[in-house]
Amino acid sequence: MEERLLKGTTTVGIMCKDGVVLATETRATAGSLIAHKRTQKLFQINDRLGMTIAGLVGDAQILIRDMRAECELYKYHRERDISIKGAATLLSNILYQRRFYPYYVQLLIGGVDEEGPSIYSLDAAGGSIPDKYVSTGSGSVMVYGVLEDRYKEGLSVEEGMELVIRGLKAAMERDSYSGGEISIATITKDGFKMLKDAEVAKIRKKVI
């Protein structure tokens, strides 16, 4: 069953003036079965880099371990963190090497470096596309409806958190593969922060 998990998912990432917001819902599915109600789909890679996963859980876990290790090696050899663009290129190359026997994943990677905040969407063949906001998974159509209507240049991280909750709420109400709780992480010049359940609940109460 583990290899079938996470075929339906909703993740979202948005770029703000002072950082990046990454978020997911937490339902894991195996076909029509809700296999887990609280699955982690949002991960810290280093102090200023995060990643969301959609696809097969086994493939995603391998890629997360690889990225953490490669970013640590980069820092060890160069005595500085890899750039967000560099991390996206690295992950793209890993995916491209397996394009004929691909990892069944769709990934978002984002964070903050000397160039500021940025987000990249990566597909199973290694395609890497930067964007200001992006959503993946089976509920992404609903999320895009919210983002297209409400996203604007210069959003603060606080406003960004409210926006991703609105988008995920729309997906969770209309996409049967998306549900459970909401996980949110912010990445700013001060580092990676995973919000606690109480913090997410407080924002949800404000916007819903």
Pick from 43-47, 57-61, 112-116, 171-175: least confident: 57-61
Domains and CATH numbers, the chain: 2-207 (3.60.20.10)
Exposed, middle or buried by CB within 10 Å (0-12, 13-18, 19+), for 21?
buried
pLDDT at 140 over 60: yes
Does the active-site annotation cover 9? yes
CB contact at 8 A, 120 and 2: no
User: Residue 46: phi, psi to the nearest 5?
Assistant: -145, -165
Contact 164, 147 (CB under 8 A): no
**11-16 average pLDDT score:** 98
Q: Mean pLDDT, the chain, as a whole number?
A: 93
Residue 4 pLDDT > 50: no
pLDDT value of residue 7 = 56
| Averaged pLDDT, 78-102 | 95
Alpha helices in the chain (DSSP H): 57-78, 84-97, 140-150, 157-174, 197-207
Among 9, 26, 39, 52, the active-site one is 9
Q: What's the average model confidence in pLDDT over 102-124?
A: 96
Query: Would you tell me how many other CB atoms lie within 10 Å of the CB of residue 205?
Result: 8
* Mean pLDDT of the region 142-161: 96
Instruction: Tell me which residue of 161, 172, 174 sits closest to 205, measured CA to CA.
Output: 161
List, for residues 27-86, the tens digit of each pLDDT value: 988 777 888 889 999 999 999 999 999 988 889 999 999 999 999 999 999 999 999 999
pLDDT over 60 (residue 1): no
**Residue 208 clears pLDDT 80, i.e. is over it:** no
